[in-house]
Amino acid sequence: MPIYKNNMKFHVVTLFPESFSSYLNESILARAQKNKLIDFKFYNPRDFVKPTKVQTKKDKPYLRVDEKPYGGGPGMLIQAEPMLKALTFIKNKIEKNKKANKIKIIHLSPSGKKFTNTYAAGVTKKFDHVIIVCGRYEGIDARVKKIFKGDGLSIGDYVLTGGELAALVMIDTISRQVKGVLGNHDSVEEMRNASPDVYTRPEILVFNGKKYKVPTVLLSGNHAKIEEWRAKQAKSSNL
């Protein structure tokens, strides 16, 4: 077994850290963690606030992180302070480590710049730590992104209830670009001609009485021809 270095560390600021584990601890990402290629840490802004004062004996103290928006409007916002405390904690922890510590901060937002595969590859190349800030409700007090500068990014033109799914999409895509995470680094699309249509056994599939055949070129054993076919297919895809 080759010895890998820890190539990418993800630090996620989220009110719902438990929502990540089932996805990250399966399959390729689970193996990559075991091989120390990627690493995840979660920080809950709630852990950085003091409990609210109780008014009556019946009230339970509550770790409050949200408040109404100035200027009115629906919903609640996550306050700046708990976020700033969490981010300060993460940065201090990283900077204590004398080793490589190039940090990229990502602020998730439906109105951010579109996250792409090219962006993911660039992050993998240039940074050792990625801090992802997940919002909830109507978002986060804007002063957080002013103080901790980073990239405002969206995964698509739709609005999610929180940043956790978007963070998972980015973690998955960035991890895939870390050397050694995919069994064979050639699996990364941009390193080869990746056809959008792929086939495996059986050679002839019968479904509801109809036969579906694998394209004959893939069975030819002629690698030049196969590559040519795949290149043509790849051209018609967006990747």
Query: Which residues in this chain contact ligand SAH in the complex, by CB under 6 A?
Result: 108-111, 134-136, 138-140, 154-156, 158-160, 162-163, 166
Q: With respect to ligand SAH, which residue has the nearer C-beta, 110 or 122?
A: 110
Shortest reach from residue 143's CB to ligand SAH, in Å: 14
Shortest reach from residue 112's CB to ligand SAH, in Å: 6
Q: With respect to ligand SAH, which residue has the nearer C-beta, 83 or 178?
A: 83
Q: Which amino acid is at 33?
A: Q
The tokens for 174 are: 């960035």
Whether the ω angle into residue 110 lies within 30 degrees of 0, i.e. cis, is no
162 strand-pairing partners: 136
Mapping DSSP onto H, E and C, the string for 10-79 reads: EEEECCCHHHHHHHHCCHHHHHHHHCCCEEEEEECHHHHCCCCCCCCCCCCCCCCCEECCCCCCCCCEEC
Q: With respect to ligand SAH, which residue has the nearer C-beta, 32 or 166?
A: 166
CB-based closest residue to ligand SAH:
135
Shortest reach from residue 137's CB to ligand SAH, in Å: 6
Q: With respect to ligand SAH, which residue has the nearer C-beta, 24 or 155?
A: 155
The tokens for 90 are: 């993460």
Shortest reach from residue 133's CB to ligand SAH, in Å: 7
